[in-house]
Amino acid sequence: GSFVFIGEMVINLELAYDEPYPSNYCGSCTQCIDACPTGAIVKPGTIDSNRCISYLTIENKSDSISSEFSGKFG
């Protein structure tokens, strides 16, 4: 799993723009896709947030996690 928390901030400040990442930053690498225990990274640049461990353990407001993901994370 990932030890990265993805978030955003909403602010009303003017910020300088930096250079965007190249459009194909990963090249032919698929290590993240291959390593994702719940299959949340469905293709390069596309994440199914409903399968993401961060969503399932932090954002999900239901009392249970689907048995489909049982044993896929600690």
What integer pLDDT is reported at residue 18 of this predicted model?
87
Contact 41, 32 (CB under 8 A): yes
Q: Is residue 35 part of a domain?
A: yes
Q: What is the pLDDT of residue 15?
A: 87
Q: Is residue 67 part of a domain?
A: no
- Identify whether 37 is part of a domain: yes
* Domain housing 36: 31-62
pLDDT of residue 2: 61
In a domain, 48, yes or no: yes
Q: What is the mean pLDDT of each run of 10 residues along the chain (74 residues)?
A: 76 88 79 92 89 84 79 76
Ranges of beta strands (E only) in the chain are 41-43, 46-47
pLDDT score for 54: 84
Please check whether residue 24 lies inside any domain of the structure: no
The count of domains in the chain is: 1
Contacts of 72 (CB under 8 A, 6+ apart): 37, 38, 53
Q: Which of 2, 5, 3, 1 is nearest to 58 (CA)?
A: 5
Give the single-character DSSP code of 28.
T
